[in-house]
Amino acid sequence: MALLEVRELGVAFSGHRRGARETVAVDGVSFDVEPGQVVGLVGESGCGKSVTALAVMGLLPRRGVRVSGRAVFDGTDLLALPEPEMRDRRGCDLSMVFQDPLSALNPVVPIGIQVTEVLRRHRSMSAGAAREEAVALLNRVGIPDPARRLREYPHQLSGGMRQRALIAIALACRPRLLIADEPTTALDVTIQAQILALLAELVADTETALIMITHDLGVVAGLCDQVNVLYGGRVVERSERRELFATPRHPYTHGLLGSIPRLDAAPGGRLDAIKGSVADNLPWAHACAFAPRCERVLDSCREVTPPVERGGEDRLLRCHNPVPAS
Ligand SMILES: Nc1ncnc2c1ncn2[C@@H]1O[C@H](COP(=O)(O)OP(=O)(O)O)[C@@H](O)[C@H]1O
Ligand SMILES: [Mg+2]
């Protein structure tokens, strides 16, 4: 059985002004996460990745937001849980690492207290045991001289060290599911690679499942077992990672892959950007949202919503005119 089953998740923001139109941020998103599996959610900025994660974590504001569908974690629908019960699960069964470690850490509380707080609350440790475990955790995520670092404030750490500290906090309660939302976007390239390697190692060692959220297919390449490509709040393609890179079928996935630099490309070759922006979307209700930007667009794409089709056991595709398989 899947650890997390997201089914037909929908999130709409209502405007605060009266009569303002709703913004549909996520629209019928379904995916599974098996224990220990690494699942990618990939797509350009604004396609609904963070909103999906926040909905699953119960972190969306209650007012002005309409959430539908189910997110069944180990048999319990998280979307139906009252807030106090959800709070117990957050930072315990499920935890999250955000893009910007500086704003996710409390600036006026030393790192050590932020780690031991989780240990004392969720693992009921004594002060002494929590301190010992905090040192071990910082050590585990590659923070040198952890005993000294525990006394420091977030601003005293570099960006990479802050992200490591945040990962330590997220792992403190031994979650069964970790959601990482663009965890390396704010970091230098070399530090990015280190953090990704660390995440890969931690999930492999601890059997924690990971949802990896990124706009960068390059990040997904080394880490994910399965990849969901999102466009305009919907999954447009899902595939096992190797298959996705070998034979991307959706023109959007194809375009994303074409815009990654490759070491084996001819020197001086150009990267193919996908033309247009997410703002050019058509409504999913009676079209393919990607049609205005698509190089394979047909008349039907502007008139009929493409249905989700299965192309093999773990493969989904939502497209009227996919890229041929070979
Ligand atoms: N609090 C909010 N109120 C209104 N619209 C929002 C809010 N948060 C996100 N959105 C909208 O939801 C869509 C998806 O956003 P998001 O999930 O943050 O995208 P991503 O993480 O993929 O970049 C965007 O169009 C965004 O403008
Ligand atoms: Mg985001």
Q: How far does the centroid of ligand 1 lie from the alpha carbon of residue 45, in Å?
A: 9
Q: Whose CA is nearest to atom 14 of ligand 1?
A: 48
Tell me which residue has tokens 């969720």: 122
Per-residue pLDDT of 46-70, as tens digits, reads 999 999 999 999 999 988 999 999 9
What's this model's pTM, rounded to 2 decimal places?
0.92
In the structure, which protein residues have their CB atom closer than 6 angstroms to any atom of ligand 1?
13, 23, 25, 43, 45-51
Give the end-to-end CA distance of the chain in Å, rounded to a whole number.
33
| Cβ neighbours around 316 below 10 Å, total | 20
Average pLDDT, integer, range 160-170 = 91
pLDDT score, position 28: 95
Residue 260 has pLDDT above 70, yes or no: no
Instruction: Round to whole Å and give the CA distance between 54 and 43.
Output: 16
Residue 16 has pLDDT above 80, yes or no: no
Instruction: Round to whole Å and give the CA distance between 270 and 272.
Output: 6
Closest CA to 263 of 326, 218, 294, 215: 218
Name the least confident of 27-36, 175-184, 260-269, 289-298.
Answer: 260-269
- Give the atom of ligand 1 at the shortest distance from the alpha carbon of 213: 21
Q: Whose CA is nearest to atom 2 of ligand 1?
A: 13
Closest CA to 101 of 183, 193, 189: 183
Closest CA to 306 of 285, 323, 324: 285
Instruction: Round to whole Å and give the CA distance between 137 and 67.
Output: 35
Task: Tell me whether strands 309-310 and 316-317 are parallel, antiparallel or unpaired.
Answer: antiparallel
- Give the atom of ligand 1 at the shortest distance from the alpha carbon of 64: 3
Instruction: Round to whole Å and give the CA distance between 262 and 265.
Output: 5
- Is residue 150 within 8 A of residue 172, CB to CB? The reply is no
Q: How far does the centroid of ligand 1 lie from the alpha carbon of residue 318, in Å?
A: 22
